[in-house]
Amino acid sequence: MGKKIINIVFLCLIPSFLFSHSLILNIDDNEDGTITVEGVFNTGQLAPGAEIRMESLVTGEVLYKKRLPDESELTINIPKVPYQVVLDGGPGHQVVKDGIEPEGGFLEELNKESKEVKLSKSRNSMQELPFEMIISIVVAFILLFITIFISIKNTNKLIRELQERK
Compute the Cα dihedral for 21, 36, 122, 70 and give only its sign.
negative
**What is this structure's pTM?**
0.58
**DSSP per position, the chain:** -HHHHHHHHHHHHHHHHHT---EEEEEEE-SSSEEEEEEEETTS-B-TT-EEEEEETTT--EEEEEE--TT-EEEEEPPSS-EEEEEE-STT-EEEEEPPPPTT--SS---TTSPP----GGGSS--PPPHHHHHHHHHHHHHHHHHHHHHHHHHHHHHHHHHHH-
Given pLDDT bands bounded at 50, 70 and 90, which one contains residue 141? very high
Across the range 54-76, mean pLDDT stands at 90
Per-residue model confidence as pLDDT tens digits over 4-59: 776 666 666 655 555 556 788 999 999 999 999 998 887 888 888 889 999 998 88
